[in-house]
Amino acid sequence: MHDTVNGAPALVLAAAAYPEGGLSGGHVIILWNTRSHGYFISIHFAVSPSGTGYSEPERLTAAVAVAESCRRVR
């Protein structure tokens, strides 16, 4: 899935479950570049604290929101 993070093109991936998905099995992965710096976020949140599962669209949307909240720190 293609999206944007703060206006920059981003690639949003849903990794296969472990073990097929490897170390990031079951994660949502976002990759993007901002001002010549590459960024990568891998987030795993398949089940809410109450035990209710999130749908894949909910997980992808939330992961993009987390990426958009990131700021470079010197």
Sorted by where each begins, the domain ranges of the chain are 2-68
Cis before 9 (ω within 30): no
Give ∠ CA 18-19-23 in degrees, rounded to 5: 70
Confidence (pTM): 0.77
Could you tell me the strand order of the sheet in which 2-5 lies? Answer: 2-5, 8-14, 28-34, 37-43
Residue 62: the pLDDT is 87
Consecutive 10-residue averages of pLDDT for the chain (74 residues): 86 91 90 90 84 87 88 71
Q: What is the three-class DSSP state of 42?
A: strand
Contacts with 26 (C-beta within 8 Å, 6 or more apart), sequence order: 15, 16, 17, 18, 44, 46
